[in-house]
Chains A and B, each alone.
Chain A
Amino acid sequence: MKTEIIVALIALTGVIFSGGFALLNIWIQRRLTEVKKKQDKNDIYEIQNNVLEQLIPLFEKKDLALDRLADILEEISKRVEFIEKENRQLSGRIDQKCLAPMLLQEVSRIQEMYGEKEVSKGIIDSLIRKDVENS
């Protein structure tokens, strides 16, 4: 009977110890899993930060390039404006030059018309002037 009690006690102690160790193991595993999760989260965090840090110089370069492009566009628009102004002036001159032959024709027509009747040059001049003013 005594031996049986001793054996039973030893068995109980064994069960208690193994149960205790199992619980301890679960506790350690849980803590380790938590630490691992934190480690993974921090690793991802670190990678994200590294990528962002590498992007900053690229953003700086992009900003500089955009500023340069804006300068170039401004310069181009200024030149276009200047060329348009020049074109307007030039087309005005061309218009005047194109009118000249017509005026000359008109003058010669008037001269022919009035020349025969010996009309004074003053009348022709005034007609020419009128024509020019109208044009």
Chain B
Amino acid sequence: MWRILNKIRQELEELESQEEKRTIQESLRKEAILSRIKVTYDNSTKVFNYGVKG
């Protein structure tokens, strides 16, 4: 009985830690992508312009 409960708890923790790792990976990926994109705002046309840095 306790073994089953423990197993369930372990599985849940494993799933949660996997998702937390994925969150970190995706946020790092987003930072990397955004660091390459250059966004400027044109006041006269009220439009955002997207380009690439460098």
Residues of A at under 8 Å CB distance from B? Answer: 24, 28, 31-32, 34-35, 38-39, 41-42, 45-46, 48-49, 52-53, 55-56, 59-60, 62-63
Q: CA A31 – CA B10 in complex, angstroms?
A: 12
In the complex, the answer to whether A62 meets B51 with C-beta atoms within 8 Å is: yes
A38 nearest CB neighbor, chain B only? B19
A24 nearest CB neighbor, chain B only? B5
Interface size on B, residues (CB 8 A): 20
In the complex, the answer to whether B37 meets A52 with C-beta atoms within 8 Å is: yes
Q: CA A35 – CA B11 in complex, angstroms?
A: 11
Number of A-B residue pairs at CB separation under 8 A? 52
The residue that A60 contacts in the complex, of B8, B30, B52, with Cβ under 8 A, is: B52
Q: Among residues 7 to 54 in chain B, which have CB atoms less than 8 Å away from a CB atom of chain A?
A: 8, 12, 15-16, 19-20, 22-23, 26-27, 29-30, 33-34, 36-37, 50-52
The residue that B37 contacts in the complex, of A24, A28, A41, A56, with Cβ under 8 A, is: A56
A45 nearest CB neighbor, chain B only? B26
